Amino acid sequence: MNPAALAAAKRRADAAANGASPAIPRQAGPESAARKPSSAIFNNLNQPGLSAADEGNGVTPPDTTGAIGPNFYMEFVNQFVGVFDRNTLARVNSLDLASFVGAPSGLTTTDVQIQWDPQSNRWIYALIGFQTGNNYVLFGWTKTADPTNLPGGWCRYGVGTGSSLNDYPKLGHDANFITIGSNVYSDTLPTYPFVTANMWAIPKPLAGDTTCSSPVSAWYFADATHLLHNADGSLAFTPVPANTADGSSTGYIVGAHDDTTAAQSKVMVWHFASGPTLVADGDISVGSFSVPPSVPQPGTTYLLDSLDGRLTQAVQLRDPSAGGIEALWTQHTVAGAGGRAVVRWNEFVPSTLSILQEGEIGSDTDHIFNAAISPSSGGSDAAVFYNRGSGSTLALIGAQTRQSSTPTGQMDAGEVVLGTSATFDQETLFQGNCTTAPCRWGDYSGASPDPSNAGVVWGSNQLAGPAFFGFAQWTTQNFAVSTGPVSVPDFSMSVTPASQTVGVGSATSYTVSIAPTGGFSGPVALSVDGLPAGATGTFTP
């Protein structure tokens, strides 16, 4: 919220980390990764995604995120958009971000968000375009469920916000609205002072509408004279609308209280009612959290930025193990034991301002940061993806999962490693990164439930490669992870009836049924043998 306060909080967290006592080994967390994890990569889907080379080796961090739909996986990074085949994660199409959104010359596009909306059967996106005195909130959706026509298959819109920069937009949706949360800063001063958190509500297009109707209404709910507050009267910060992955009519919005000046223990909840009207539901009390320390790297004094304790994404889905109540999963990176960053995750019941469970991903040796969490479409299981790193471990991407039978507030044993950085991160040509402040990293990652496979969660996250003329050569990884023991793709076959009697010169028929398991797809070749002389067998699809 306040850059000076955040810098001071980071200095305090880093000082505490440097003076921390030696860690006492504990059982939970990625340090148990040597044990065989209960989850695994689904169908070998773990492939490199977009990289700094795609967008010209310029903008860092990538703001990597992605989402899975019925037929495609989409990854968005700063300055580039990619569409991938969900069966192979091979790139189908890609385009630079400015061309994708139709940005005018001079407008810089950043802070990308992408989601699949199962209720409208469309993809939706949001981001910002900034230029001093001429800022925009940009958003849009696909005309159909097919995202591959870039940009012709998309409806693209923007709302000018003048000198108000709606930074760090977070995207969500419910039955009626596309929702965007943001932090508003004024560009009238070189320090970009914080003004207020803000929320936007945009009516969703009518089902089947492929016309890109114009104009489109967009309501905002806070500005310099109408500040957005938490239930206790403090200023709200980084409101995060939920990616509503089921048929719920209400989509909730959550925001952790600002911890840059003092530790906090509350998360605020809102939702949109018809109108639209922004409803302040109230605060949920959670475990105390504070700004995490920066992350050391091997071979350099440069540190990685672990952010500031804000929530970065949320997914909403009914949980059958909790009686089918609508639950919201979210996470943030906070200060943990031993002076290390950890990921705190929650499953909330926003309608009752209560917690179903709260857990922590930590390590006795490494920092855990830049995470994303999502339940699978089954609703009772979940996966969390994150970066793990330390002074002896290059930043990697790890995953942990839980099932409905896993003890409350825990992940199952073991860690799936999805990728490892080639070297430490170093940047010297962008906003003083790595010199006057930690190297920018993230600023977030993505996780979403597979709409076709219960028990599977997809994600995107960042790794680091060699520097190129002072710019970080970030790479990304896209992946799908099973939340439980993985079945090998296979099928079962049954024939009815089991046997028949037929006379010479007559014919009969059997019905062959194929049932796929473990994500199997593809043709099955059938043959018949053992027939008496003169008899033939044929198959009809």
Task: Confirm if 353 and 269 have CB atoms less than 8 A apart.
Answer: yes
pLDDT attached to residue 38: 60
Q: Is 297 helix (H, G, I), strand (E, B) or coil?
A: coil
Tokens standing for 377? 């479409």
Task: Confirm if 118 and 175 have CB atoms less than 8 A apart.
Answer: no
To the question of pTM greater than 0.75 for the whole model, the response is: yes
Show the DSSP H helices in 33-159 as ranges.
97-101
pLDDT attached to residue 25: 30
Task: Determine the Cα–Cα distance for residues 247 and 195; give it in Å rounded to an integer.
Answer: 35
Tokens standing for 134? 């001429």
pLDDT attached to residue 255: 99
Task: Determine the Cα–Cα distance for residues 26 and 365; give it in Å rounded to an integer.
Answer: 10
Task: Confirm if 477 and 49 have CB atoms less than 8 A apart.
Answer: yes
Task: Determine the Cα–Cα distance for residues 428 and 75; give it in Å rounded to an integer.
Answer: 27
Task: Determine the Cα–Cα distance for residues 382 and 459; give it in Å rounded to an integer.
Answer: 12
Q: Which residues of the chain have pLDDT under 50?
A: 21-35
Task: Confirm if 438 and 432 have CB atoms less than 8 A apart.
Answer: no
Task: Confirm if 458 and 501 have CB atoms less than 8 A apart.
Answer: no
Closest C-alpha to 331, from 434, 235, 461: 461
| Domains (range + CATH), the chain | 3-482 (2.130.10), 488-541 (no CATH)
Task: Determine the Cα–Cα distance for residues 246 and 376; give it in Å rounded to an integer.
Answer: 11
pLDDT attached to residue 449: 98
pLDDT attached to residue 432: 64
Closest C-alpha to 289, from 318, 321, 266: 266
In 353-489, beta strands by DSSP E: 354-361, 367-375, 382-390, 393-402, 416-420, 446-449, 456-468, 471-482
pLDDT attached to residue 526: 84
Task: Determine the Cα–Cα distance for residues 115 and 374; give it in Å rounded to an integer.
Answer: 13
pLDDT attached to residue 13: 72
